[in-house]
Chains A and B, each alone.
Chain A
Amino acid sequence: MKLLERKHPLAIRWFHWLNFPLLFLMIWSGLLIYWANPVYRVGIGDQTLLKLTVDQSVYRKLHINNRLAEGMALHFFFMWFFTINGVLYVAYTAFSGEWRHLLPNRHSFREAWQVVLHDLHIRKEPLPRRKFNGAQQISYTGIILMGLGSLLSGLAIYRPVQFAWLATLMGGYQMSRFLHFWITVGYLLFFVVHVAQVVKAGWNNFRAMVIGREVVAVGNDDKLGPVAIAPSQGSTES
């Protein structure tokens, strides 16, 4: 026997998949803007580990040089869709009760550590069989806070006089720009880990983000009726 268990509500699946191209377009247009003044680097003091100033010949090869006006026009167009999608997502999770699965609690941090050990094959015990484990709760809540950080730092850069209090709160105009950039690098890191975990968790888990349901194998217990034995494929990561 198999159970087609409800996992992701329809609204959340739409918010999730719409966010993917929208965030991509925000990053892409942001890169067209960054080109005009590519100043950031990874390093300590004068030691530069990784210069985020790409050589102009690379920019020309990718055809992203001299496109500042285009980048700004696109950025200030898609920002509305990106923001509205994010706000609706947060509102939906708040009103539907989905936040109960997503918000970390006092156990999440200990559990997140166990998940890390498990994923590194150091800890052998199985992970808790819940919709989202502690590591996921922290990541999925953190990414929303990063989204809020992008919005606020973006507003501080966009209108640094009308929202001077916000720019000051962020540490000034250049600091707002700095935060706005590094939050974006954070999205890319999230993306890499997220996709790796989805690949690791397998098709059943991925499919649940498309159709909303996950297949769970069940056996028959005479007293309890059908009980879950195990998800037919890994299902604790996504």
Chain B
Amino acid sequence: MKNKKLILAAFVLSIGILLGGQEEITIRIREGMPMIPVALPDFQVTGMVQPNDEINRMIYETLWKDLEFSRVFKLVPREHYAYISRFNPNAINFKDWASIQANILISGQLEMAADERIIFSFKIYEVNSTRFIFGRNYGGKKDLARMIAHKAADEMMKHFGEKPLFTSKIVYVSETGNDRDIYIMDYDGFRPTRITFSNALDMLPSWSANNEKILYTSYRNLTPELFMFDMYTGKTELLSSGGSNYAADWSPVADQIVFTSSKSGNAEIYRKDMKTGKEKQLTFNPAIDTSPCWSPSGREIAFTSQRNGTPQIYVMDSEGSNIRRITMEGSYHDSASWSPDGMRLAFVSRIENRFDIYIFNLKSNEISKLTENAGRNENPSWSPDGRHLVFSSNRSGRYQLYLVDYDGRNVRRITSGGENKMPKWQRLPR
């Protein structure tokens, strides 16, 4: 009898361990899901385009790099294609592709008309079941080739249950000579477009929730005022002035912004309703309160406060109450950025005159370091899918923009020339 009880206890215990283990495994799968092996043979070309044409290579390489960057797909090395028969889109030998461990096969076709408009078509096959999964056709002007490739990569993401990423843009500040203006560009650093043309300092830009407007601070009237630029109408509107007005962040769920203003005489955090124009002061403290950032739910706001002597990260609810301190160690933290899943805060810490980016897990209270002793690293901002971040760093001399994965892997520089900083990645439109 006693034995039986013991066995039962052991059984219960082992189930407990199993369940516990299982839970841990599911978390691990979320973070490090095995990547899907994809083969991307050369495109078939028709019409006015040759296989070696720049346009063909551009679409191919952009699509390749997007999928490689995704952390969702893994590309079968091109060297392996040499061991199997040449890809024929009309008679696909799936066994060949299975033999080089491809799970997904992309069959692409590029056509160029006499007026230089291009049509890119692609079909996705599952190799093992030899099934056609889905296909898309994109047509457009020749100079939109990169955009077409990004759209195709996003379609892949969506089809595999992931969030689109590759058509997203980054807004940032670029400085060449004495000019410092706001620019937007593709996530991979291509196609930069200047959007402000003032002779004064323009800085700290951010996106509206629908990505149609840019909030930024400009010194064009001598003091730092908050402006809003509408990309569709081209109109610029003054949002807040008096004292310094900066670090605006648009709510992911409502037409509300939070920003820092010293219009009352001290740096405090304000919330502004963009429909009624009504403002509400959220912090009341003689210390510096700045750098507000909405949680994805819109219920909380992370911010920086010096109320206990040194700048630390705090979180309050969106009405300004229930303030709690997040960073407990270190003497200098700022620029909090909330991950799209709401689970993590990325921020900058200064330790012995180095700036590095850290990620704080709000569930487990664990802190991990994202950048390692390479110059000053500032202004982290999450990708819409939460797998990557963009930040600025002076590791190579002047400030440039870099991408990094959530686990610190795949650091990649995306700007060069002049100085580029203060990046903000678009969020998924609500």
Q: Do A and B bind each other?
A: no
List residues of chain B with CB under 8 Å of any chain A CB.
none
List residues of chain A with CB under 8 Å of any chain B CB.
none
